[in-house]
Structure formats: C-alpha cells, structure tokens
Copies of this chain bind each other. A is one copy, B any other.
C-alpha cells in the first residue's frame, strides 16, 4: 500500500508539472492571438476565419492520432481555445466598414438589446447617439444629421415610435430590431422614403459576442445602400440571413411564440402539481436536468419581454389552439391504450424529420457530454 501511494504521488507530481507547462503555453498563445487581432483590425480583416480554423483543426486532429490521443478531445480543446482567442481579438475593437457615414442614432439605445448595438458601433469607431423617451422634445436635432437610425424600443412601442420618424433625410437608412417584422417594416416604408431594412437579431442581450449569432434581414427598400451595415455585422462575427417579413413571422410563431408559451405553461404546471423541485433535480440525469434548466431559465428573465412576444400577433393563438387539439388527440390514444396508433404517429414524425433527427441526436449527445463534465 505504501508502494502504491508512492507511485501515485509520483504520477501526480508529473501531472502537475505537465499542467503548469500547458497553462504557460496557453498564456503565450493568447499573447500571439491578441497580436493577430491587432494586425487584423488595422487592415479591417474579419476576426472569424473559418477556413484557417478548419485547416488548423484538421492538422491537429491528425497529429493527435499519431500520438495516440483522442482526436475528439483535441478538437474540443482547440475549439474552446479558439473561442477564447476570438474574445481576445474582440477586445481590440472592430474595423469600421463605413467611416464616411454620418451619425448613427439608436432609439432605445439604453435598452437591453439596444445597448449591445450602441456598444458594438462605438467600438467600431462610429459616432453614435442615443434617443430615449425623455429626448423626444429635442429629437429633431438628434435625428437631423443621422445616416442610420435604428429603432430598438420594446415591441409594444415600435409602431408609434416609427410613425414619429417622417423627419429623416432621404439618404438616411431606417432599420428596426423588433422580433416581429411584417408590421414594423410596413410602417417604416410608409413613414420614410429612403433605404429601409428590418432586422431581427436572434440573440438576447446577454451574448458575450456576436460570433456565430444570426441576424435576420428583411429587405424594405434600396438594399444597395445598407450593404455596408450587413458587412459590419459580419465583421462583428454575425451571420446575416435574408427572408421576407412574412416568412420570418410565421417561422418565429413556431420557434419563439409557441416555444416560449408552452415553456411558461410547463413551469406553471410544475408549480401547480406541487412538484418537489430539489428532489426532481437530484433524480435527474444530465438530459432531464438540461430540459428542466431550459424551462427554469425562462423565469429568471423579464416577463414583459416574453409577454410582448407572445401577445404580438393574434394569429398565433389559432396556431396554438391547433397544438392543443393535437395534444388532446394524442393523449386520447394514450387514454385508450392505443399504443400501436401512437407508435405509427411517432414514426410519421420521425420520417418527416428525416436525417435531421439523427443529426440532432448526435449534436445533443456531444452537448450532453459537455454538460455532464465533472463539476
């Protein structure tokens, strides 16, 4: 036993030594990637370089195999390291795609999501002004020489805010970041004669950066004049996705309204059923824990935000009623013990998902492995 403890101790000393070397190398690497960020921002090269990244990963994975190391391990580690180095490069500030643009005005720029954009524009060297509720008496002065106006107010105020913007000059770009797109876009086109674009940033105010985040783009008018703005989003790391306002709204009914609403219902149900949350958590494996977390996380956030989205479009009520009917009809199968019919429906949906189901399974497996890392 003493022999065992001695040997174990030797191994642990060796591991500690390796770990120290690892940390030192990581610090050195961080210094160099910060330098890369500086260089890139000087010439305006985007920070996110997918091709170089893939090359690097492929090489490292091959090297991993040659030294009998899991290539999955090496891939995971270096993805994490790269994410950190993107953050360090972000800190350098961003290239300004359109230095000639006049002032940018963010209406509601002190709000949660508005301030994200104010921050990003400022760190890219633009002149940014904020127009808040109390500033409307002097709004003419603030808006006078604007080259871009972004409406970033709560969804309930979007319409009335847009209607006040008839004063903009014809070369000013008018944009909004509301989570519905059809109505605001129409309102902007009605009130303003210049370039118009509807935007929906598919992220919350808690993002740490825009790398790989999606911004949905619904063209209104004169798209050539706001291309620089879309390029600026790309410099920040975001992906732009073009759809019509209608397509956007019906997709969002599903991914936002329906999901948020049923999550609220599920939380409400858990409460009403007097569930013992602590016991439930103790009995939950990573997958159940994650599902519970996806429900619980909603209730740490602003109810107005969710209510605004859920109440934004009466058409959604009809769609959610259809969900209820489907829920009732499948529950009816369970009540009648019609297992074969239930499985048939299940298989129908599985066919409809096709390969995506398997892809989702793999994707979530990887994620769950991460979630269940010792902590």
Q: Is the CB of B23 within 8 A of A310?
A: no
In the complex, the answer to whether B23 meets A279 with C-beta atoms within 8 Å is no
For residue A22, which residue of chain B has the nearest CB?
B25
Whether A19 pairs with B330 at a CB distance below 8 angstroms is no
Q: How far is the CA of A43 from the CA of B3 in the complex (A)?
A: 11
Please state if A280 and B299 are interface contacts (CB–CB under 8 Å).
no
- A280's contact among B254, B264, B307, B369, by CB below 8 Å, is which? B254
- Report yes or no: A18 in contact with B32, Cβ–Cβ below 8 A: yes
Residues of B within 8 A of A360 (CB): 292-297, 300
Contact with B along A229-269 (1 / 0, CB 8 A): 00000000000010100011001101110110110111111
Given contacts A271-B352, A367-B367, A374-B83, contact A300 B4 (CB under 8 A): no
Q: Is B1 a contact partner of A43 (Cβ separation < 8 A)?
A: yes
Question: Which chain B residue has the least Cβ–Cβ distance from A7?
Answer: B39
CB under 8 Å from chain B, chain A span 159-218: 202-204, 206, 208, 211-214, 216
Q: Are A74 and B26 in contact (CB under 8 A)?
A: yes
Q: How far is A262 from B375 in the complex, measured between Cα atoms in Å?
A: 30
For the complex, is A84 an interface residue (Cβ under 8 Å from B)? yes
What B residues does A82 contact at CB under 8 A? 373-374
Q: How far is the CA of A241 from the CA of B20 in the complex (A)?
A: 37
| Given A29-B15, A68-B27, CB of A248 within 8 Å of CB of B283 | yes
Q: How many residues of A contact B (CB 8 A)?
A: 165
Q: Across the interface, do B243 and A283 meet the contact criterion of CB distance under 8 Å?
A: yes
- Cβ–Cβ contact A255 & B292, under 8 A: yes
**Can you list 27 A-B contacts (CB < 8 A)?**
A4-B42, A15-B36, A18-B28, A22-B77, A23-B74, A26-B64, A26-B74, A73-B84, A83-B373, A203-B287, A212-B286, A248-B283, A252-B283, A254-B280, A267-B352, A267-B353, A290-B294, A293-B363, A293-B364, A295-B360, A298-B357, A300-B357, A303-B346, A311-B337, A317-B335, A367-B370, A367-B371
Instruction: List 11 additional contacts besides A4-B42, A254-B273; criterion CB under 8 Å.
Output: A7-B39, A8-B39, A30-B68, A70-B84, A241-B283, A252-B283, A255-B280, A277-B356, A290-B367, A300-B361, A301-B361
